[in-house]
Amino acid sequence: MLSDMSPRSRRQLLSMIGKAGGGLAMYQAMTVFGHAAETRFTGPPQLTGARKGSTVLVLGAGLAGMLAAHELTKAGYKVQVLEFQDRPGGRNYSVRGGDKIVEVGGAVQNVGYAPGNYLNPGPWRIPHHHRTLLHYTKAFGVELEPFIQLNHNTLVHRKDAFGGKPQRYRELSVDFKGHVAELLGKSLNAGALDSSVTREDKEKLIDAMRQWGVLDGDMKFTGDLRVSAQRGYDKAPGGGVGGAPTPSKINSLSDVLSSQVWSQIGFFFSYVMQTTMFQPKGGMDMIGKGFYRQVGKMVRLNTKVTRIAQDDKGVTANWTDTVTGQSGESKADWMVCTIPATILSQIDIQVSDTKKAALKALPYSNSVKIGLEMKRRFWEEDYSIYGGHSFTDQAIGLVSYPNNNFFQDGPAVLLGAFAGRAGGYQFAGMTPEQRIQTALDMGSVFHPAEYRKEFRTGASVAWSRMPWILGCCASWTEQSREDHYDNLVAMDGRIVLAGEHASYYGCWMEGALLSSLDAIKRLHQRALAA
């Protein structure tokens, strides 16, 4: 194993690989050392030598479908893509002024955002380790900018904590670690853990608690100036005469516990949520548009697939043009089907019973996002909040602040709700106007003086009411994964499924892309062997 080599030998080998293969080879070699075991992506697939004249039908022009079309075309296949909607991208989607959102149930929203403003109702942030996506955004010329995920200055609200008054995350998180450090320090000093830690580790741990918790000489967490240098001051440091700061008062252990701030701390520690994160400049749909620039010529929009069949010779999809009403069928040798399970399970499709069972068993999450356009960036101007999220235990879940155009005058769109689970169903059951009003009520807890005063217009996307998907994204349970995942992803005759639902990265664009790459590699192998 490479990992058994001496550091010097490793370095030499790495250097040789670097000279020979450049960045990507190096990257893969690094992976062996555990420096970068963060992705399955090893560069775009090198598929070549498709049989002359071989054809593939791709269903769905979301990211998985468009990536399949792009790479299979490069491999030599002739590809056609059928897409239900009047635009490419699928859930890679940005809602803008002038857009019309039509829901199952009949509700229609005409979006009134100012030019340049948008809501990303689906994916909205990109982890630094989603290297498949980062590879193709770069390859397709999609510019990215930082997404501010962790902002210490945002607010945390729980109905039952601090009399319902939101607290700054920085204050709660500093106080939490201070109290934890004081208590663990006390246990260590009292010898309560002498059977669990060595004498040497105990000394180091006490020192660690003192520094990490910012404890005083008696190992107490108190509100001294050193603590304020983390949680903020009552009177900030100034210049000139009277510049000395005064410390802020820490919260009691009981108060900090009532805030349950560890949920937020844990959220920031989640690998997919860790900094550095990105978003496309100008809206998430820039990614879908980047993919579409590669494959647009192969895509037939407004095409509703009604039946999927296969036999020894090939595959057939029957469809209806949703604009003209015209019916038709498309044939090919092979098929990559990226239609979400929520929809595909309702279509007449010729696959094995186990795959049909998998499609029916796969649970989808529901969620609702609401974008509130405000007349000005009061969260920046009045609260010094630049990006990031304020959290609440109300149904909206959070308020998230825009990460583009910091400091600009004029209207900007806040994410006024990212409601999931019960909250998602609650919001989905409302009219669009009720959703806005409820989001304004709930979000006012953070910005009581400004929230309604500065509100301009809003729009919401309730995923369970989007006719083309009827849900947000795959939400495998351990049991459904165990029972059905292998059956879902297995190639079935001439048909293979792809999309975030066919991955262990459900709900992420990266999952859709990794699934697509895996699916087309298997399809290509099968096609060459056929």
Interactions with a second copy, residue window 270-289 (CB under 8 A): 270-272, 274-276, 278
Q: Work out whether 204 is an interface residue with a second copy (CB under 8 A).
A: yes
Residues β-bridged to residue 233: 247
Quote the least distance from Cβ 360 to a second copy, whole Å. 20
Query: C-alpha distances in angstroms, 3 versus 8, 41, 74?
Result: 12, 21, 36
- The interface region with a second copy, picked from 288-296, 311-319, 335-343, 373-381 by CB under 8 A, is 373-381
Q: How far apart are CA 89 and CA 135, in angstroms?
A: 17
Quote the least distance from Cβ 491 to a second copy, whole Å. 9
The site map against a second copy for 469-488 (x = CB under 8 A) is ----------------xx--
- The interface region with a second copy, picked from 52-60, 230-238, 285-293, 342-350 by CB under 8 A, is 230-238
Work out which of 30, 107, 114, 301 binds a second copy, going by CB under 8 A. Answer: 30
Q: Which structure tokens are listed for 201? A: 């580790």
Work out which of 93, 118, 136, 383 binds a second copy, going by CB under 8 A. Answer: 383
Cβ-based nearer residue to a second copy, 108 or 407: 407
Quote the least distance from Cβ 225 to a second copy, whole Å. 10
Task: Match 């820039």 to its residue by tokens.
Answer: 286
Residues β-bridged to residue 308: 317, 349
Q: Work out whether 301 is an interface residue with a second copy (CB under 8 A).
A: no
Q: How far apart are CA 54 and CA 72, in angstroms?
A: 10
User: Interaction with a second copy in 385-414: which residues (CB under 8 A)?
Assistant: 385-388, 403, 406-407
User: Interaction with a second copy in 85-144: which residues (CB under 8 A)?
Assistant: 128-129, 131, 134, 137-138, 144
* CB 322, CB 304: distance < 8 Å: yes
Quote the least distance from Cβ 60 to a second copy, whole Å. 15
Q: Label residue 428 exposed, middle or buried (CB < 10 Å: 0-12, 13-18, 19+).
A: buried
Q: Work out whether 372 is an interface residue with a second copy (CB under 8 A).
A: no
Half-sphere exposure of 511 (CA within 13 A, CB side): 19
Q: Which structure tokens are listed for 430? A: 């409302």
Helix (H) or strand (E) holding 253: helix 253-259
Q: Work out whether 244 is an interface residue with a second copy (CB under 8 A).
A: yes
Which of these, 82, 90, 96, 95, lies nearest to 511 by C-alpha position?
90
Cβ-based nearer residue to a second copy, 400 or 516: 516
User: Interaction with a second copy in 432-461: which residues (CB under 8 A)?
Assistant: 448-450, 453
Q: What is the DSSP string of 110-179?
A: E--PPTT-EE--S---EETT-HHHHHHHHHTT--EEEE----TTSEEE-TTSGGG--EEHHHHHHHHHHH
CA dihedral for 74, 77, 83, 87, sign (positive or negative): positive
Size of the site for a second copy (CB under 8 A): 131
- The interface region with a second copy, picked from 304-312, 324-332, 384-392, 412-420 by CB under 8 A, is 384-392
Q: Work out whether 20 is an interface residue with a second copy (CB under 8 A).
A: no
User: Interaction with a second copy in 52-81: which residues (CB under 8 A)?
Assistant: none
Q: Work out whether 219 is an interface residue with a second copy (CB under 8 A).
A: no
The set of residues, in sequence order, having a beta carbon less than 8 Å from that of 518 and lying 6+ positions away, is 489, 498
Indicate the residue type of 196. S
- The interface region with a second copy, picked from 4-12, 53-61, 349-357, 366-374 by CB under 8 A, is 4-12
Q: How far apart are CA 105 and CA 329, in angstroms?
A: 29
Quote the least distance from Cβ 240 to a second copy, whole Å. 3
Q: How far apart are CA 143 and CA 254, in angstroms?
A: 46
Q: Work out whether 159 is an interface residue with a second copy (CB under 8 A).
A: no
